[in-house]
């Protein structure tokens, strides 16, 4: 149980995200690092997921999907408060470029 707690704390400590000018970036991993960079115009969907334990603890998970991966999330932001999740989602929605109208 102590090892699980320490791994959870380390995972949280080494998880980060950044909203850059043209890209959304995440970094995760304790020993093996995973870096994900997603251009804003490739983002298809942004979901806020709150399971039972997440609601009890007041946490949320943001799932960001692109067309390249299909139905699975390209990246997730776990352990975010609900208010911070809503703020991040709104900021991402602002940065997503709308497709140009090409005339029908």
Q: Is the pTM of this model over 0.85?
A: no
Task: Indicate the pLDDT class of residue 104, thresholds 50, 70 and 90.
Answer: low
pLDDT at 63: 94
pLDDT at 40: 93
The CA distances from residue 35 to 32, 52, 55, 87, in Å, are 10, 29, 28, 22
What would the two tokens of residue 8 be? 């959870």
Q: What is the mean pLDDT of residues 20-41?
A: 92
pLDDT at 52: 94
CA angle, 53 as apex, 51 and 57 as ends, to 5°?
Answer: 115
* 70 has pLDDT over 70: no
Enumerate domains of the chain plus CATH numbers: 2-95 (2.30.29)
pLDDT at 50: 95
Q: Are 23 and 63 in contact (CB under 8 A)?
A: no
Burial grade of 103 (CB within 10 A; 0-12, 13-18, 19 or more): exposed
**What's the chain's average pLDDT?**
88
Q: What is the mean pLDDT of residues 11-36?
A: 91
């Amino acid at each position: 149980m102590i090892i699980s707690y320490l791994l959870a704390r380390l995972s949280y400590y080494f998880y980060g995200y950044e909203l850059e000018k043209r890209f959304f970036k995440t970094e995760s991993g304790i020993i093996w690092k995973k870096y994900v960079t997603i251009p804003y115009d490739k983002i298809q969907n942004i979901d806020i997921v709150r399971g039972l334990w997440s609601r009890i603890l007041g946490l949320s998970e943001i799932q960001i999907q692109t067309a390249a991966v299909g139905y699975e999330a390209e990246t997730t932001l776990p352990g975010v408060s609900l208010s911070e999740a809503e703020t991040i989602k709104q900021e991402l929605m602002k940065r997503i470029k709308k497709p140009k109208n090409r005339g029908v």
